[in-house]
Amino acid sequence: MMDVLDAEFALRFLHMCRNGHLMGWHERNGGNLSYRIKAEEVEEIRGDLSFDGEWKPIGTSVPALANEFFMVTGSGKYFANVLLNPKDSVCILEIDDQGENYRICWGLVNGGRPTSELPTHLMNHEVKKKLDPKYRVIYHAHCTNIIALTYVLPLNDETFTRELWEMATECPIVFPDGIGVVGWMVPGGREIAVETSKRMLVHDIVLWAHHGLFCAGEDFDSTFGLMHTVEKSAEILIKVMSMTPIRRQTITPENFRDLAKGFKVELPEKYLFEK
Ligand code: 13P
Ligand code: ZN
């Protein structure tokens, strides 16, 4: 039997919260993180979990996640404080056998509830688990530059994907499936969760206009790295746009096709339009 806070996944979860905070992506309680805990990891910490918590409605239905356990940030909790007092800021929850309710098995010792974006996290997890069970991390952050771009660029997948790809040669290799864009919606409920999870069928990155980003990945490093790559590319784009409306040179559709061959990735032609 192992304490939750001695488990490798818990350390990595807390470390990622801290790193996100240091990037400036988590003002106040902005952003949230969830991890679908592996069955063998649950067994290691089972003795540190309690199973007498009240079942509460998730607010949506995720039958493919029945009986799974998640580590999730708490609603209203500051990423800046997660390392200072993990048991106050974070929880482990169990999903019931219908995928309709959850109960808290560890953490949030001073009360509270899991992130208000739980429906989006869980619906994204469900979509990704069905596509590839290796996916375990869903991360939401309020990254400054990509949010700024949602006021200026047309809100569609093609524009955001292509513009960000053009800003760094690594981008099409890191996110060959591009970015899904959701227009402004009220956060925190089922409706936005449905729209987001639809896009997660195709993309690992979904942008919420005037709000932030959701990234999905197999582990903490790759999911954080994805967020960082997109946000850095957004920063370069803003610098370029701030200097001049004219691009003297850029990465061309032909360059992208060569890159795809060289790195053996498939880049959908819909992103390689002539401008
Ligand atoms: P929570 O504090 O409920 O996680 O909300 C933060 C947030 O970013 C909502 O989109
Ligand atoms: Zn948010």
Selected from 3.40.225.10, 3.40.50.2300, 3.90.1280.10, 3.40.109.10, the CATH number assigned to the domain covering 1-116 reads 3.40.225.10
Positions of CATH 3.40.225.10 in the chain: 1-116, 142-275
**List 41, 44, 68, 117, catalytic entry:** 117
Pocket test for ligand 1, best of 28, 32, 79 (most atoms within 8 A of CB): 32
What is d(CA 103, CA 91) in angstroms, rounded to the nearest whole number?
Answer: 10
CA–CA distance, 112 with 90 (Å, rounded to integer): 10
% of the chain at pLDDT higher than 70? 100
**Does ligand 1 have an atom closer than 6 angstroms to the CB of 147?**
no
Condensed to tens digits (0 to 9), the pLDDT of residues 242-254 reads 999 999 999 999 9
pLDDT in tens, 9-53: 999 999 999 999 999 999 999 999 999 999 999 999 999 999 999
| Residue 70: closest CA among 33, 108, 111 | 33
Q: For residue 51, what pLDDT is reported? A: 98
pTM of the model: 0.98
pLDDT for residue 218 is more than 90: yes
The pLDDT tens digits for 157-191 are 999 999 999 999 999 999 999 999 999 999 999 99
57 CB near ligand 1 (under 6 Å): no
Mean pLDDT of the chain: 98
- Is the CB of 75 within 6 Å of ligand 1? yes
- Report domain 142-275's class: alpha beta
Residue 1 pLDDT exceeds 90: no
Q: Is the pLDDT assigned to residue 96 strictly greater than 90?
A: yes
